[in-house]
Each structure stands twice: as C-alpha cells, then as structure tokens.
Structure 1
Amino acid sequence: MTDTALTPEAARAAVATAILRIVPDADLDDLDDDARLRSELELDSLDFLSFVELLSSATGVRIDEADYPALASTASCIEFLTSRAPAR
C-alpha cells in the first residue's frame, strides 16, 4: 500500500463539497480561487465553523482556530490542506 498525501484535486473536491453543504445554491464555477469565501458566500461565523468541521472530517486534517486565516479562499484552503494532510 502506497502512502500519499492529499492531492490538490482531492483538496479542491473537499472544499467544493463543504461549500455546497453550507451554501447549496453556490455557483462554484463563478467563484474565483482567490475570492474571500466568507464575504463572497456570505458565511457567518457558524457557517464558517461548519465549513471548517466539514473540511477536517473529509480530509483528516486537524484545523485549529489559529489556522482559520489560512482558509480564506479556495486557493489558500487547497494549499493548507495539501500541506497538512496526513499520509494515507
């Protein structure tokens, strides 16, 4: 069995799935990778916390409150998740 970290594609899929669980009608095709997720998707604090929990569950990455600024955009989420994901 080969141990591999989370790929950027898998991280992007986890981000998209989490967003759509919180904002089911979000148009991800129009969401720029560098757009600020909280403002673009109008996420309140509870929505953002749910987003973080979904990402953590889907990827196995521990996300602490100090890490929240690294989850500002799709691009930064992908970078954070791929750099922190445990080997599978």
Structure 2
Amino acid sequence: MTKQELEAVLAEALRRIAPDVDVAEIDGDGDLRQEFDIDSIDFLNLITALGKRFSLPIPEEDYPRLRSFAAIVDYLGEKVV
C-alpha cells in the first residue's frame, strides 16, 4: 500500500473513533490523544480497528510508537506488505 492509501485508511478509522476530528487539521507529528482528546479506550479502539483492517497483530509493546498520525502511518508502512 502507498503512504497515501495508509493515510486514507487511518483517517477513516480515526473518523469512526472521533467523528469531530478534522483530518485536514491534524498535526502529523502531534500526539493524537492530546491533540484531539482521545482517551485510552478510543485509542485502543483505533489500534484494534487498524489491526483488523490489515489482519495485523499490533502488540501492546508497540503502542508507544503509535502516538501520532505520521507514526501510525510509518508503522503500518513497515508492517503491511
């Protein structure tokens, strides 16, 4: 998948978790949880949705790497073949 495709999938998953989020205003390197007041349950739902979408196990020890929009896209780019 291309980076743009991964960004689109992440944006869609993020909109389901936090419908008020304007994806165009996301600071790619900003902490998603702080930037949009996403709590730990919403974050877990986002990561779970992405894992299901890509049939990809995302271990809890990888969660610290997934703080920003750009970091999640990079992570998925490494893992999704």
The two structures share one fold, judged by TM-score above 0.5: yes
TM-score using structure 1 length: 0.85
Q: TM-score, normalised by structure 2?
A: 0.91
Based on CA coordinates, which of the two structures has the bigger radius of gyration? 1
> Would you say 1:38 and 2:13 are equivalent positions?
no
Structure 2 gap ranges (5+): none
Higher relative contact order (CA 8 A, sep 6+): 1
Partners of 1:61 and 1:83 lie apart in 2 by 11
Cα distance in 2 for residues equivalent to 1:10 and 1:61 = 16
The 5 Å alignment of 1:7-22 reads 7-22=2-17
Letter in 2 for 1:51: L
Aligned residues: 81
Query: Structure 1 stretches of 5 or more lacking a match?
Result: 1-5
- TM-superposed CA distance for 1:9, in Å, is 1.4
2:23 is aligned, of 24, 28, 34, to: 28
Whether the aligned pair in 2 keeps the contact of 1:14 and 1:59 (CA below 8 Å) is no
Runs of 4+, deviation exceeding 2 Å: none
Q: 1:25-55 deviations in whole A, cap 9, x for unaligned?
A: 1111111111110111111111111000111
RMSD of aligned residue pairs (Cα, Å)? 1.1
